[in-house]
Amino acid sequence: MARGHGRPDLFHIGELAASEAIPANYLAQILAELRNAGFITSKRGKFGGYALSRPPEEISLHDIVKALDPEMLEFDIGGEGESGQRVREVWKEVQRTLETQTRGITLDTLASQPSGAMYYI
């Protein structure tokens, strides 16, 4: 992974896109949203790149999903019909479980999993 000259914490978009097999234009959109949400900083120019704005243990998967796709965490189901209320209760429980699980996964735990590769944002 190529990093910014003299800045081991900066990552270039081209290398990030290649290492994660994501089109650079699409990655640029995601990085812009993450920057707007305050998770990363960017520096333009030859010696620029992207870096986390906070330590990875302070950024949860929940935080990222909420910034990029909040509807994924905030779904609602109507309670109509004979079984509607029970279905709604079950989906609310699924939503609570999803929130709990995603809050417990931080960037450092993602990076420290024994998958053999380290992932950077």
For the stretch 26-37, pLDDT in tens is: 999 999 999 999
In DSSP terms, which residues pair with 49 in a beta bridge?
Answer: 43
Quote the DSSP letter at residue 7.
-
What does the pLDDT average to over 39-61? Answer: 91
- Cα–Cα distance measured from residue 40 to residue 63, given in angstroms and rounded to the nearest whole number: 13
Mean pLDDT of 31-53: 91
pLDDT at 2 > cutoff 50: no
CATH topology of domain 1-56: Arc Repressor Mutant, subunit A (1.10.10)
72-111 pLDDT, tens digit each: 877 777 778 888 888 888 888 998 999 999 999 999 998 7
| The pLDDT of residue 116 | 52
CA distance 98 to 83: 23
Q: Name the band, by pLDDT with cuts 50, 70 and 90, for residue 3.
A: very low
Predicted structure pTM score: 0.72
Dihedral of alpha carbons 104, 107, 110, 111, sign: negative
